[in-house]
C-alpha cells in the first residue's frame, strides 16, 4: 500500500466513525427538542422523564462524537497539508464558521443544559436545548458547504502556482452539490433518531417493561419520526442524481462520463477517473436499505389501538432495523467521497498534491493503526454504554444534574 492509500484509508476511517456519532446526535437532539418543549407546555412528568432518558443516551453519544471530530479537524493539516496549502483559502472559511458559530456554541450550551437541570429556570433550560439543536444543524450546514466545495469547486480563482483564492462566498452556498445534499443529510439524521428511539422502545416492550406509558409514547414518536425522516431522505436522495451527475460526470455511468474522463486525462495525465468499485456498490446497497426502511410506513396504521405492540413481530423488526440507517449512511458517504476520486477537489486538485509532503509509509501506517484502534475502542465502549443505559430504562433514584450522580 502506498502512503497515499494509507492516508486516504485513515481519513475515510475517521470520517466514518465521526459521522456515525453525528447521525445519532442530530437525530436525538431533534427529538429532545420535541420532548422538552412538550414538557414545558403540558407539564406532564412523563415528558420530563423521556427528556432525561433519551437525553442521557444523547450525551453519552455526544462525547465520542467530539473525540472523533477533533481528530478529523486536525487530520486536514496533519495528513493533508497540501489541501490546506492549495485549497485552504476557500476550504478554511466554512470550516472556521462551523467551529466558531456552530460547534463551539453548541457544546457550551450543551454543558449548561446538562448541568443546569433544576438550577436553571425551566424556560431558560428548554431554550438551551433549542439552541443546542439549532447550532447542531448549523454545524451540518457549514461542514457540508466545505465538503461540497471539494465535490464541485466554485467561487475561486487559481493563481499561477496552483494556489486558489476565494472570490465568491455566495457561490459556495448555491453550489448544487450542497443545496441538494443538505436536506438529504438532515432528514437521514432525523430518520436515524426515529429508528433508534423506536427500536429501543420496541426492545423494552419485548422485555415486558412496566413503563408502558413511557415507551408507548417513545415508540409512537420514534415510528412517526422514522417514517417522515426516511420518506424525505429518499426524496432528497433521488433529487441529487440530476445535479450531481451534471457537475460530476464521472460519478455516475452516463453519456458525459467518457468526455469527462478524456478531459481529465488531458489535464492531469492518464489515471483511473471512474469511481471505485466500493462506491458504486455502496450506492446500490444504500438505496436498497432505504427502500427497506421506507416500509416502516406500514407500521403507522398499526399504531391504532397499539396493534404494533400487541402483534409483537413489528417490535422485533424495529429492533433489528436500528443499525440499518447507520449502514446506509456509510454507503452514502462512500459514493459521495469515492465518486470524487482521484481528486481532493474534483477536477481541480489531484490527491497526490493534497497529501502532506514527506510522509513516510511507516509513520502513516503507525498513525493509522494507532488512531483506528483508539477510535474503535472508544466507539465500541460508547455503544456498549449507550446500550446499557438504554436497557436500564428511565428509572432514576432522584432527579438532579443529568448524570447518575444522584
Partner 1 sequence: MILLLAILFCGYFILAGLDYGVALVATGRRELDRIAPFFLGNEVWLVAAIGLLFGVFPADEGRLLGAYRVPAGLALLGVITVTATFGLRIFARPSHADGASGVSPLDGVAKIGGALAALGWGAVLGATWHGGPFSISVPVVAGALGMLAVVGVHGWAFLRRRWAILAATTAVLIGSVAVAGSTITWHPASSTAVDLVAPVAYALVPLLILIQGATWWVFRTRHVSEPSAVRRTGSA
- Which 158-217 residues touch partner 1, going by CB under 8 A? 165-167, 169
Residue with cell 429501543: 200
**What CA–CA distance (Å, rounded) separates 63 from 177?**
30
Measured at the alpha carbon of residue 198, what is the angle toward residues 197 and 204, in degrees to the nearest 5?
Answer: 95
When the beta carbons of 22 and 234 are compared against partner 1, the nearer one is 22
Looking at the DSSP assignment, which residues form a beta bridge with residue 165?
157
Asked if residue 245 binds partner 1 (CB under 8 A), the reply is: no
C-alpha distances (whole Å) from 219 to each of 216, 224, 309 are 5, 9, 9
Asked if residue 51 binds partner 1 (CB under 8 A), the reply is: no
Cell numbers at residue 323, please? 443499525
| Shortest CB 71 distance to partner 1, Å | 6
Residue numbers 364-383 binding partner 1 by CB under 8 A: 367, 370-371, 374-375, 378, 381-382
| Shortest CB 89 distance to partner 1, Å | 5
| Shortest CB 293 distance to partner 1, Å | 28
Residue numbers 55-74 binding partner 1 by CB under 8 A: 56, 59-60, 62-64, 66-71, 73-74
3-state secondary structure 131-152: HHHHHHHHHHHHHHHHHHHHHC
When the beta carbons of 62 and 215 are compared against partner 1, the nearer one is 62
| Shortest CB 363 distance to partner 1, Å | 7
CB 276 within 8 A of CB 220: no
| Shortest CB 346 distance to partner 1, Å | 19
When the beta carbons of 293 and 402 are compared against partner 1, the nearer one is 402
- Encoded one letter per residue, x for contact with partner 1 by CB under 8 A and - for no contact, window 77-96 reads xxxxxxxxx-xxxxxxx-xx
| Shortest CB 353 distance to partner 1, Å | 12
Q: Of 16, 31, 46, 97, which lies in the binding site for partner 1, with binding defined by CB under 8 A?
A: 97
| Shortest CB 200 distance to partner 1, Å | 15
| Shortest CB 189 distance to partner 1, Å | 20
Cell numbers at residue 295, please? 416500509
When the beta carbons of 54 and 80 are compared against partner 1, the nearer one is 80
Residue numbers 330-369 binding partner 1 by CB under 8 A: 356-357, 363, 367
Q: Of 19, 76, 326, 333, which lies in the binding site for partner 1, with binding defined by CB under 8 A?
A: 76
Residues 6+ apart with CB under 8 A from 39: 47, 48, 50, 51, 126
| Shortest CB 271 distance to partner 1, Å | 24
Tell me whether residue 321 is exposed, middle or buried, using C-beta atoms within 10 angstroms of its C-beta: 0 to 12, 13 to 18, 19 or more.
buried
Number of residues forming the site for partner 1 (CB under 8 A): 77
The number of helices, as runs of H, and strands, as runs of E, in the chain is 16, 4
C-alpha distances (whole Å) from 204 to each of 105, 198, 312, 391 are 35, 10, 12, 7
CB 19 within 8 A of CB 71: no
Asked if residue 388 binds partner 1 (CB under 8 A), the reply is: yes
Residue numbers 98-137 binding partner 1 by CB under 8 A: 98-101, 103-105, 107-112, 114-116, 119-120
Q: Of 4, 274, 389, 396, which lies in the binding site for partner 1, with binding defined by CB under 8 A?
A: 389
When the beta carbons of 133 and 334 are compared against partner 1, the nearer one is 133
| Shortest CB 352 distance to partner 1, Å | 15
Q: Which helix (H) or strand (E) holds 345?
A: strand 343-345
35-39-45-48 Cα dihedral, nearest 10 degrees: 50
Mapped onto helix, strand or coil, the DSSP state of residue 288 is: helix
When the beta carbons of 104 and 278 are compared against partner 1, the nearer one is 104
Residue with cell 465520542: 64
When the beta carbons of 76 and 187 are compared against partner 1, the nearer one is 76
**What CA–CA distance (Å, rounded) separates 173 from 193?**
27
Amino acid at each position: 500500500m502506498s502512503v497515499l492509500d494509507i492516508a486516504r484509508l485513515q481519513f475515510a476511517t475517521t470520517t466514518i466513525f465521526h459521522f456515525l456519532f453525528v447521525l445519532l446526535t442530530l437525530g436525538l437532539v431533534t427529538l429532545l427538542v420535541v420532548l422538552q418543549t412538550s414538557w414545558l407546555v403540558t407539564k406532564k412528568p412523563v415528558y420530563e422523564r423521556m427528556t432525561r432518558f433519551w437525553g442521557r443516551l444523547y450525551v453519552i453519544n455526544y462525547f465520542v462524537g467530539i473525540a472523533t471530530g477533533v481528530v478529523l479537524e486536525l487530520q486536514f493539516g496533519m495528513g493533508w497539508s497540501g489541501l490546506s496549502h492549495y485549497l485552504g483559502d476557500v476550504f478554511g472559511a466554512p470550516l472556521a464558521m462551523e467551529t466558531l458559530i456552530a460547534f463551539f456554541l453548541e457544546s457550551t450550551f450543551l454543558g449548561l443544559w446538562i448541568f443546569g437541570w433544576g438550577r436553571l429556570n425551566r424556560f431558560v433550560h428548554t431554550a438551551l436545548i433549542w439552541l443546542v439543536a439549532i447550532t447542531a444543524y448549523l454545524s451540518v450546514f457549514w461542514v457540508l458547504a466545505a465538503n461540497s466545495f471539494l465535490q464541485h469547486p466554485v467561487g475561486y480563482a487559481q493563481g499561477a502556482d496552483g494556489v486558489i483564492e476565494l472570490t465568491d462566498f455566495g457561490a459556495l452556498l448555491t453550489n448544487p452539490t450542497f443545496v441538494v445534499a443538505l436536506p438529504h443529510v438532515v432528514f437521514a439524521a432525523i430518520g436515524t433518531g426515529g429508528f433508534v428511539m423506536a427500536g429501543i422502545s420496541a426492545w423494552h416492550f419485548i422485555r415486558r417493561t412496566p413503563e408502558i406509558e413511557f415507551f408507548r409514547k417513545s415508540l409512537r414518536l420514534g415510528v412517526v419520526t422514522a417514517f417522515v425522516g426516511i420518506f424525505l431522505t429518499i426524496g432528497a436522495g433521488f433529487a441529487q442524481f440530476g445535479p450531481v451527475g451534471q457537475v460530476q460526470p464521472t460519478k455516475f455511468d452516463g453519456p458525459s462520463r467518457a468526455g469527462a474522463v478524456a478531459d481529465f486525462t488531458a489535464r492531469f495525465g492518464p489515471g483511473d477517473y471512474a469511481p471505485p468499485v466500493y462506491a458504486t456498490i455502496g450506492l446500490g446497497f444504500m438505496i436498497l436499505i432505504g427502500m427497506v426502511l421506507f416500509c416502516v410506513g406500514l407500521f403507522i396504521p398499526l399504531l391504532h389501538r397499539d396493534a404494533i405492540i400487541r402483534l409483537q413481530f413489528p417490535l422485533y423488526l424495529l429492533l433489528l432495523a436500528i443499525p440499518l440507517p447507520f449502514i446506509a449512511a456509510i454507503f452514502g458517504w462512500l459514493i459521495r467521497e469515492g465518486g470524487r476520486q482521484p481528486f481532493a477537489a474534483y477536477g481541480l486538485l489531484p490527491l497526490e498534491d493534497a497529501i502532506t509532503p514527506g510522509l513516510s509509509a511507516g509513520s502513516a501506517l503507525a498513525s493509522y493503526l494507532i488512531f483506528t484502534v483508539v477510535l474503535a475502542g472508544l466507539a465500541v465502549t460508547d455503544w456498549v454504554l449507550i446500550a446499557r443505559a438504554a436497557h436500564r430504562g428511565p428509572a432514576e433514584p432522584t432527579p438532579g444534574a443529568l448524570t447518575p450522580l444522584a
